[in-house]
Structure 1
């Protein structure tokens, strides 16, 4: 959890309270989304989206980039913990992370290929450790759910009589592979995982997330699709069976049907936008009516799958991952799906009841920040607010899986 602190003459600031690493990961993702031109959860279905993503690809995040960060971070902390702990260790690793970014950037390693700080360099605000921390704990690489300032407490080795004897920390997995020589001043191999590191990371994820789509992708040898396709069209994901395949099927139908609600919401904004005489966006009403028509055709093409959709099974699966999904959220989703399955399709654009349902949902979610009531925010509308298809972190997951697979395949070659 975080607190936004504001005062009459004070800038806004963020302060962390006593929360788990997973909760902090979710907040960082939320902050990251709001630094983009539009929020991606205008209608408040993010809990369901994240439940699908966490069920399919546990531990992942929309702000992950490359797999080797899962080793970069523990290497830095274990190096620093030899002589430091607590806040001193945290400050030391902050400096070392920035040194690592500069080394990778100066050497051209990873530039444009998932390097965190590629543009800002060593001055980047959000460091790799903040981005990967929750996943390190989720996969058991970080062996306790603690924040950086709590790590590095030095303990005498078992059987040692001298307090200054050989010491060890128990913060990181004991089989962590050794860092390359001169790390972090230089990084042999850059972002590419050597075979031993790829195998080690595979073992950690398989041990922490068995029976998931993520685990399947690490043990199955079906090639990943080279095209930019959603996971339900990727051959590697389609090769899965059991619960991962079921969850992916439900995720596909949920994404397909619910995209229409986002398009209708944007149509409502577009109508209000044109009625206000705003012209920065060109003919948005016609554009969204066409988008809704195209979406309806795609949904109709999935008619056989939708007619056999066991929604109760979907709810059971997503609530297994997140039992806190609210009743109002479920009621809105079920109401929208019922309208679509009733065969209304493109007709939702002009159905008064469906339009009112979407408008009420957005206004409840955003209050005075709703573009359907806030003229100032209406004027800043970029023309598309949360319209992308939900793909459950697949682009980031695909890159991580590719890194691991390439590390294992390179050794075989």
Structure 2
């Protein structure tokens, strides 16, 4: 299948890329339309993270690049500045690989130095940079930030020409150091030097690591991510979100423990539906799917006992079709009615994709030995673990 779109603007192009990217993200295949609930839980526990973030260093590389790009050296044309940002991000990728060709998580590894990626680090990390208060938000997209910053820089330059004073240069330097233009503060960054690109590596410096640790804690109060960092929890000790919940549910706040258990209960229900989906898609020929169904069948009623009203209420979600499907399949599993569950799954996929595109309408076209549609929900646990590990490693880097 080929996809295409009419490219009216950079923002439209990015929206299209975001949609396409969802199809290739690990664990993001969503045959039954529960992605909105999965993502809402993930945002609750690990705000500012995403499934395509690779290393914590980008939370600072991107701001360094974006802040420098509007200092006036690229002129007044916002489009030219955006192209300069693209070039600078690519240059950083090349530098990171030159420092360590085997470094994990460097964006663009497979295409650099000749090529570059369609979805840049700034696109991937922008939401997190805003969520963590590294950028002082104002609800701006990157193009909007660039456009506003360029205009403010130009206006202030004109103002200086008409009203210079003895302190102008010093004030200019103060604003630059603070990340401000005029009276608007855009950035909240640790102190760094103009030669930050020299000897650039994917690892955080100790100062950067301490900064990110405190900044994330400050901006994600009440989240699981804040608790992990505040208590220096080693996420490598846990295999998945469920094992983390089992260990921490008696230690975190009552509300957070409740939400973690609710997420695990929801996970159990969804996983049963995904197993049945794979049994159906393979026409009963997928050995793993069959074995999984046999394993969970004795606990089918217990695994279906999730408070769906609480799930939608706590997450403030309004999606009647998704809730109707989940309530229906919950009823089927509680009654141990596999036939009813299968019919609901079949109808759900058709309602989402249409009969012609639904995989269950074309079971002969697929490899019956392969699993489709994701397994247990991760809620970005593995992605958060990568970021947290980078922070911990940076904090001890100068002591090793």
TM-score (norm 2): 0.81
State whether structure 2 residue 327 is matched by structure 1 residue 330. no
Alpha-carbon spacing, 1:251–1:80, altered in 2? closer, same or farther (3 Å): same
Bigger drift between 403-412 and 29-38 goes to 29-38
Residue 109 of structure 2: aligned partner: 118
Residue 291 of structure 2: aligned partner: 290
Deviation at 1:265, TM superposition (A): 1.4
Residue 404 of structure 1: aligned partner: 391
Residue 162 of structure 1: aligned partner: 161
Q: Distance in 1 between matches of 2:199 and 2:213?
A: 25
Indicate conservation of the 8 Å contact 2:240/2:381, yes or no. Answer: yes
Deviations for 1:300-349, whole angstroms, at most 9, x for unmatched residues? 7xx4x876x54433332122xxx3x311100111222233334x2xxx5x
Indicate conservation of the 8 Å contact 2:48/2:132, yes or no. Answer: yes
Q: Distance in 1 between matches of 2:68 and 2:33?
A: 43
Aligned-pair RMSD on alpha carbons?
Answer: 3.4
State whether structure 2 residue 225 is matched by structure 1 residue 214. yes
State whether structure 2 residue 131 is matched by structure 1 residue 145. no
Q: Distance in 2 between matches of 1:70 and 1:38?
A: 23
Other structure's SS at 2:5 match: strand
Other structure's SS at 2:255 match: helix
State whether structure 2 residue 56 is matched by structure 1 residue 67. yes
Deviation at 1:185, TM superposition (A): 5.0
Alpha-carbon spacing, 1:29–1:291, altered in 2? closer, same or farther (3 Å): farther
Structure 1 counterpart of 2:312, from 302, 315, 325: 315
Deviation at 1:291, TM superposition (A): 2.0
Alpha-carbon spacing, 1:390–1:128, altered in 2? closer, same or farther (3 Å): same
Q: Distance in 2 between matches of 1:287 and 1:408?
A: 42
Q: Aligned ranges for residues 368-379 of structure 1 at < 5 Å?
A: 368-374=356-362, 378-379=365-366
Structure 1 counterpart of 2:47, from 54, 58, 66: 58
State whether structure 2 residue 238 is matched by structure 1 residue 251. no
Structure 1 counterpart of 2:4, from 5, 8, 12: 12
Deviation at 1:67, TM superposition (A): 0.9
- The unaligned stretches of length 5 or more in structure 2 are none
Residue 373 of structure 2: aligned partner: 386
Residue 34 of structure 2: aligned partner: 45
Q: Distance in 1 between matches of 2:313 and 2:25?
A: 33
State whether structure 2 residue 253 is matched by structure 1 residue 261. no
Alpha-carbon spacing, 1:295–1:127, altered in 2? closer, same or farther (3 Å): same
Deviation at 1:19, TM superposition (A): 7.2
Q: Distance in 1 between matches of 2:11 and 2:241?
A: 32
State whether structure 2 residue 223 is matched by structure 1 residue 196. no
Indicate conservation of the 8 Å contact 1:263/1:288, yes or no. Answer: yes
Indicate conservation of the 8 Å contact 2:54/2:383, yes or no. Answer: yes
Deviations for 1:285-310, whole angstroms, at most 9, x for unmatched residues? x542222112335667xx4x876x54
> May I ask how many residue pairs the two structures share in their alignment?
371
Residue 241 of structure 2: aligned partner: 231
Alpha-carbon spacing, 1:297–1:395, altered in 2? closer, same or farther (3 Å): farther
Structure 2 counterpart of 1:104, from 65, 72, 96: 96
Deviations for 1:244-271, whole angstroms, at most 9, x for unmatched residues? 2211111111112211111111222112
Q: Distance in 1 between matches of 2:360 and 2:27?
A: 15
Residue 280 of structure 1: aligned partner: none
Residue 177 of structure 1: aligned partner: 190
Deviations for 1:144-200, whole angstroms, at most 9, x for unmatched residues? 332333313243669x7436963654576544124455333531xx22222322232
